[in-house]
Amino acid sequence: MRKASDLEIETPITSMIDIVFLLIIFFVVTSTIQKEAIDRDLQLAKSQYTDPADLEGSKVIINVRPGPSITVGMQRLNLHNLKIMLRKLKNKETPIVIRADGGMTYREVDLVMAAVGESGMTRIRLAASAEN
């Protein structure tokens, strides 16, 4: 007969790994969605003299492709829905960054800028690529 002290005491490591894995998947998925606020396929116009801005922080980033096709945080919006979304923002001082493709005509950018202005937002920024 074996004594109790001979029994090996093991922590249940397999189930712990499962939980850790699930947690990591959760964090990876959520952080990826936040990063995609930027549409990387847009060809921004180049700037040479303006200092690079911090992409973090609270701001609304509006990606505009020719069309105009508007995306905010991976979500496609039309001008009407964009206005509704911006009107819901309580803080009208929230910076609005318009990332418009450099090759677009201003006619299309103007529609977006007018929509932002009509929503009562006051701080508008135009994005340019600061990479050399």
Partner 1 sequence: MSAMIDVVFLLLVYFILTFKIEPLEAHMTVNMPSPSTVPGQPPPVLLEVKILPDRYVLNGVGLTLDTVERTIDDLTRDDRSQTLIIKVGLNAKQHQLISLLDRCEKLDLENLNVLTLKY
**Residues of this chain that bind partner 1 (CB under 8 A):** 13-14, 17, 20-21, 24, 28, 32, 35, 38, 40, 44-53, 55, 95, 97, 99-107, 109-110, 113-114, 116-118, 120, 122-131
Compute the least distance from the CB of residue 38 to partner 1, in Å: 7
Of 74 and 114, nearer to partner 1 (C-beta) is: 114
Q: What phi, psi does 67 have (nearest 5°)?
A: 150, -55
Tell me the two tokens of residue 84: 């509704």
Of 67 and 117, nearer to partner 1 (C-beta) is: 117
DSSP state of 5: G
CA distances from 76 to 2, 62, 71, 131 (A): 68, 10, 4, 27
